[in-house]
């Protein structure tokens, strides 16, 4: 029997206080995610249970019990407090998937700070706009990423500290830099956790939109309630599980389910901080006897591409339950996983703003390969007409996914951008920006985004951000960026570019532009293909018609071109 038991029974009279009771939380109590993920598990008598088993790219392994997780997060919390960091100050985590990232996250929350994890592959420009928007007080990073921070330090007078967790003692630190070695630091046994409450801010995750700068999604400590329960009911976490969430905590899955959901449920989780290879992933599952595996369609399709011979080299019989997130999981991948692993990957649908799963497939429920599943108990979701914002009420029609606001982990606002936050709501519904239909059994079927945002490998990339970066390249006159279909990543970034006089499109220029964007923004945002063209399709008012370029890439009808400039 799974944790959720019967889905149909769970949705009747569901109340989030199920989770509150299990967590011994009552409305008005202090609630601190850092404490719930470490101290509470120890108080329940599981201090000696392994919490984190970490493996680096060279094969080095580190293990932390829940008691060590508690003391190490105390130690980081105290260090930050001693530096003068105040509650609600933003503290950025800019690291690879090393133990300090996971433990530092809890330490920040325990001292009352707002954790701001950022993907360590971000280039200096991407890093700057996010730190600048958050007016970040401190950044915790590794020496390998320090040069990117140093490059923009001058522009950030509000950034008081760059904390380097593996600083080379032989090299002098610069102004505002401080070294902190967690392993060598004296461990703090007793630490006064900051008394945060349900609505106290906990986390800022940045996400991209079609236009404008990235938005800082603000979450609060009460998000724990839905992150805990969805982990228990959808990921079906058991005390005996060895759990592997492959996501990077620079993104929301890596925090909601790679830290909060896992540790608040008291499971043992493994982290592999190494680049992808099918051999290495299967070896990791075999070695650690992973039983619950939460991954992403891009990774699953990469495994499919690697073939089945490699699977036969490893004993993967420990796998009990599989789930996926980040982008729609195609039916072929579901069928493939059932055939090769003996169980299907269950697709889960949610996003940075929702903080936890919204529409998912559940253990024990009939799986329709390719479907997103059904709303989590307590989540009222439907599909509405894009013009009237009214639910269709009949199955099969494609419209906007709409969710009734009010679940615990819903974002509270976009940081310093309340106006954009308000635009996410129409007619009493929260609109995630995706389109789908609902079949006659209540299953949701994903159709696509409702905007130009590119979903590549489960990460959202703003065409606006890439176009802006392209325009800074000395050869680029104009640019338009669209999604291009891709087997592994679902979509990749494609750029159409016109050149300034004196420049000619060539393979070398193509590579130069790719690398320019990669370093400035991130590898995800780097155009995987650049097409040099003479002019971009525009409306008579001069607006670039991305729609036409998108349709060309996807082999779709171009549609109405009556406003086209040269038509």
- Residue 174 makes contact with other proteins by CB under 8 A: no
Q: Which stretch binds other proteins (CB under 8 A): 2-10, 19-27, 146-154, 431-439?
A: 146-154
Least Å distance between CB 276 and other proteins? 6
* Complex with other proteins: residue 82 or 508, whichever CB lies closer: 508
Look at strands 292-295 and 434-438 and give their pairing: unpaired
Q: How far apart are CA 415 and CA 201, in angstroms?
A: 11
Least Å distance between CB 531 and other proteins? 14
Give whole-number Cα distances, 3 to 40, 267, 319, 362, in Å: 21, 14, 17, 10
Q: Which of 145, 194, 218, 520 binds other proteins (CB under 8 A)?
A: 145
- Residue 121 makes contact with other proteins by CB under 8 A: yes
What track of x and - describes contact with other proteins for positions 284 through 323 (by CB under 8 A)? ------------------x--xx-----------------
* Complex with other proteins: residue 97 or 194, whichever CB lies closer: 97
- Residue 96 makes contact with other proteins by CB under 8 A: yes
- Residue 162 makes contact with other proteins by CB under 8 A: no
- Residue 276 makes contact with other proteins by CB under 8 A: yes
Nearest CA to 342 out of 311, 298, 309 is that of 311
Q: Which of 135, 213, 280, 498 binds other proteins (CB under 8 A)?
A: 280
- Residue 90 makes contact with other proteins by CB under 8 A: no
Least Å distance between CB 160 and other proteins? 23
What track of x and - describes contact with other proteins for positions 470 through 509 (by CB under 8 A)? -------------------------------------xx-
- Residue 387 makes contact with other proteins by CB under 8 A: no
Nearest CA to 188 out of 106, 258, 249 is that of 106
* Complex with other proteins: residue 379 or 526, whichever CB lies closer: 526
* Complex with other proteins: residue 123 or 399, whichever CB lies closer: 123
- Residue 169 makes contact with other proteins by CB under 8 A: no
Q: Report whether 386 contacts 254 (CB < 8 A).
A: no
Q: Which of 111, 245, 495, 526 binds other proteins (CB under 8 A)?
A: 526
Long-range contacts of range 457-460, CB-CB < 8 Å, 24 or more positions apart? 457/296, 457/298, 457/326, 457/327, 457/488, 457/489, 457/490, 457/524, 458/251, 458/253, 458/296, 458/297, 458/298, 458/325, 458/326, 458/327, 458/490, 459/251, 459/326, 459/524, 460/207, 460/208
Least Å distance between CB 522 and other proteins? 8
Q: How far apart are CA 341 and CA 415, in angstroms?
A: 42
* Complex with other proteins: residue 259 or 509, whichever CB lies closer: 509
Tell me the CB-side half-sphere exposure of residue 93, using CA atoms within 13 A. Answer: 29
HEC readout, 157-189: CCCCEEEECCCCCCCCCCCCEEECCCCCCCCCC
- Residue 528 makes contact with other proteins by CB under 8 A: yes
* Complex with other proteins: residue 230 or 489, whichever CB lies closer: 489
Q: Which of 22, 88, 177, 273 binds other proteins (CB under 8 A)?
A: 273
Q: Which stretch binds other proteins (CB under 8 A): 139-147, 153-161, 190-198, 474-482?
A: 139-147
Q: How far apart are CA 293 and CA 229, in angstroms?
A: 17
* Complex with other proteins: residue 384 or 524, whichever CB lies closer: 524
With b for 16 or more beta-carbon neighbours within 10 A and e for fewer, the 234-249 pattern comes to bbbbbeebbbbbbbbb
Residues 6 or more apart in contact with residue 65 via CB below 8 angstroms? 47, 48, 49, 50, 51
- Residue 192 makes contact with other proteins by CB under 8 A: no
Query: Which residues pair with residue 61 across a beta bridge?
Result: 55
* Complex with other proteins: residue 471 or 511, whichever CB lies closer: 511
Residue 541, Cβ density class (10 Å: 0-12 exposed, 13-18 middle, ≥19 buried): exposed
**H helix intervals, 65-145:** 66-83, 99-110, 124-134
CA distance from start to end of the chain:
63
Least Å distance between CB 439 and other proteins? 34
- Residue 510 makes contact with other proteins by CB under 8 A: yes
- Residue 58 makes contact with other proteins by CB under 8 A: yes
In this structure, the number of other CB atoms found within 10 A of the CB of residue 555 comes to: 7
Q: Which of residues 440-459 bind other proteins (CB under 8 A)?
A: 456-457
The footprint of other proteins on this chain (CB under 8 A) covers a number of residues equal to 33
Q: How far apart are CA 41 and CA 425, in angstroms?
A: 38
* Complex with other proteins: residue 144 or 543, whichever CB lies closer: 144
* Complex with other proteins: residue 401 or 493, whichever CB lies closer: 493
- Residue 403 makes contact with other proteins by CB under 8 A: no
* Complex with other proteins: residue 420 or 528, whichever CB lies closer: 528
3-state secondary structure of 492: strand
Least Å distance between CB 298 and other proteins? 8
DSSP state letter for 88: T
Residues 6 or more apart in contact with residue 296 via CB below 8 angstroms? 246, 247, 253, 324, 325, 326, 327, 457, 458
Phi, psi of 505 (to 5 degrees): -60, 135
- Residue 511 makes contact with other proteins by CB under 8 A: yes
Residues in the site for other proteins, rule: CB under 8 A? Answer: 57-58, 96, 121, 143-148, 273-277, 279-280, 302, 305-306, 456-457, 507-508, 510-511, 514-515, 518, 523-524, 526, 528
């Amino acid at each position: 029997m799974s944790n959720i038991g019967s889905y149909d029974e769970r949705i009747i009279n569901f109340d989030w206080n199920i989770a509150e009771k299990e967590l011994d939380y009552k409305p008005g109590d202090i609630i601190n995610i850092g404490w719930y993920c470490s101290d509470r598990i120890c108080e329940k008598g599981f201090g000696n249970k392994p919490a984190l088993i970490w493996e680096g790219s060279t094969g080095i392994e580190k293990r932390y019990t829940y008691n060590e997780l508690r003391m190490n997060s105390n130690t980081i919390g105290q260090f930050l407090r001693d530096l003068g960091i105040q509650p609600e100050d933003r503290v950025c985590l800019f690291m690879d998937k090393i133990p300090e990232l996971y433990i530092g996250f809890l330490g920040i929350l325990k001292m009352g700070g707002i954790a701001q994890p950022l993907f360590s592959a971000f280039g200096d420009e991407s890093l700057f706009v996010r730190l600048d928007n958050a007016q970040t007080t401190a950044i915790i990073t590794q020496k390998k990423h320090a040069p990117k921070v140093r490059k923009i330090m001058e522009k950030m007078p509000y950034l008081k500290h760059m904390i380097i967790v593996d600083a080379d003692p032989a090299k002098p630190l610069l102004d505002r830099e401080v070294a902190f070695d967690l392993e060598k630091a004296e461990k703090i046994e007793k630490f006064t956790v900051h008394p945060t409450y349900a609505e106290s801010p906990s986390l800022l995750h940045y996400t991209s939109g079609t236009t404008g700068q990235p938005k800082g999604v603000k979450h609060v400590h009460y998000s724990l309630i839905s992150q805990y329960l969805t982990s228990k009911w959808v990921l079906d976490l058991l005390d005996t599980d060895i759990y592997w969430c492959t996501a990077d905590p620079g993104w929301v899955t890596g925090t909601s389910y790679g830290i909060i959901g896992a540790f608040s449920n008291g499971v043992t989780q493994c982290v592999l901080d190494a680049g992808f290879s099918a051999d290495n992933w299967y070896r990791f599952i075999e070695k650690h006897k992973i039983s619950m595996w939460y991954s992403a369609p891009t990774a699953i399709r990469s495994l499919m591409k690697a073939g089945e011979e490699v699977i036969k080299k490893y004993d993967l019989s420990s796998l009990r339950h599989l789930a996926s997130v980040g982008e729609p999981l195609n039916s072929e991948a579901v069928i493939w996983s059932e055939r090769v692993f003996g169980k299907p990957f269950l697709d889960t649908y949610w996003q940075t703003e929702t903080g936890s799963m919204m529409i998912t497939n559940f253990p024990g429920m009939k799986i329709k390969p390719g479907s997103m599943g059904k709303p989590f108990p307590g989540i009222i979701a439907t599909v509405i007409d894009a013009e009237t914002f009214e639910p269709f009420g009949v199955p099969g029609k494609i419209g906007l996914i709409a969710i009734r606001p009010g679940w615990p982990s819903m974002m509270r606002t976009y940081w310093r951008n309340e106006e954009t936050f308000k635009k996410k709501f129409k007619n009493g519904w929260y609109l995630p920006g995706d389109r789908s239909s609902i079949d006659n059994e209540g299953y949701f079927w994903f159709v696509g985004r409702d905007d130009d945002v590119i979903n590549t490998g489960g990460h959202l990339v703003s065409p606006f951000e890439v176009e802006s970066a392209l325009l800074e390249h000395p050869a680029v006159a104009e640019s338009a960026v669209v999604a291009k279909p891709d087997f592994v990543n679902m979509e990749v970034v494609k750029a159409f570019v016109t050149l300034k006089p004196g420049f000619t499109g060539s393979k070398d220029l193509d590579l130069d532009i790719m690398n320019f964007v990669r370093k400035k923004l991130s590898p995800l945002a780097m155009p995987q293909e650049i097409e040099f063209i003479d002019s971009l399709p525009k409306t008579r008012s001069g607006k670039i018609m991305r729609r036409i370029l998108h349709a060309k890439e996807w082999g779709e009808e171009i549609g109405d071109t009556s406003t086209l400039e040269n038509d």
